Copies of this chain bind each other. A is one copy, B any other.
Amino acid sequence: MAKRSGEKNQVILDAAVKTFARSGYHRTRISDIAGQAGVADGTVYIYFNNKEDILISLFQNLMTRFVKELRSELAHCRNTNEKLETIIDYHLRTLGSKPEQARVTQIELRQIDQNINEGISKPLMSYFQLIEEVIEEGKKQALYRQEIDTRTARKVIFGAIDEVVTCWVMSTKPYQLSNLKNPLFELLVKGLQ
């Protein structure tokens, strides 16, 4: 019953999400991750260079899938506003349904060393890119104001969603994250129009 190649890689990443979410990045020891994954400490180092590498790989994994799936959802949208709504909805839905991933994304990932930072930037960029594309589209269609600075608008949109998620993660989660989609959408789309 040989494990499929690459399977252990994923087992370790899954264990890392759980452990980082539970104890925080800096409090997590490699042996915690290994224990959670049911492998030996040394095995972790066969698949990853070090703790930082795990955190980065984790995020790159999540983010790559995130952007890919979001792009495929956007493909079904009939207009730009629907696209903006989809971005907000997908973002809240995805993180709202995976509190552990959300905690890692919102909190642990910000334990920024320069290296981590670089490993994080690139996958994030493609999400930023996607948001900016939608804004540009809206401007081209005269749906959004021409004088809007795309870059700044993207920061507003991402910053707003991100803050909403962070607040939810830090809270005792007495509400559904995705309930905030509509108020968020209204505030943002009005800002753009």
Show the binding face of A for B, using Cβ within 8 Å. Answer: 24, 26-27, 107, 110-113, 117, 121, 147-149, 152-153, 155-156, 158-164, 166-167, 170, 180, 183-184, 186-193
Contact = CB atoms under 8 A, between A and B. Distances in A.
Contacts of A170: 117, 121
Number of chain copies forming the complex:
4
7 contacts: A117-B170, A152-B184, A153-B183, A155-B167, A159-B166, A160-B163, A189-B191
A155 B164 contact: yes
A69 to B, nearest CB: 23
Contacts of A153: 183, 187
A27 B115 CA distance: 13
A185 to B, nearest CB: 10
Query: Which of A155, A167, A170 has the most C-beta atoms of chain B within 10 angstroms of its own C-beta?
Result: A155
A27 B121 CA distance: 21
A113 B155 contact: no
Contacts of A112: 24, 107
A162 to B, nearest CB: 6
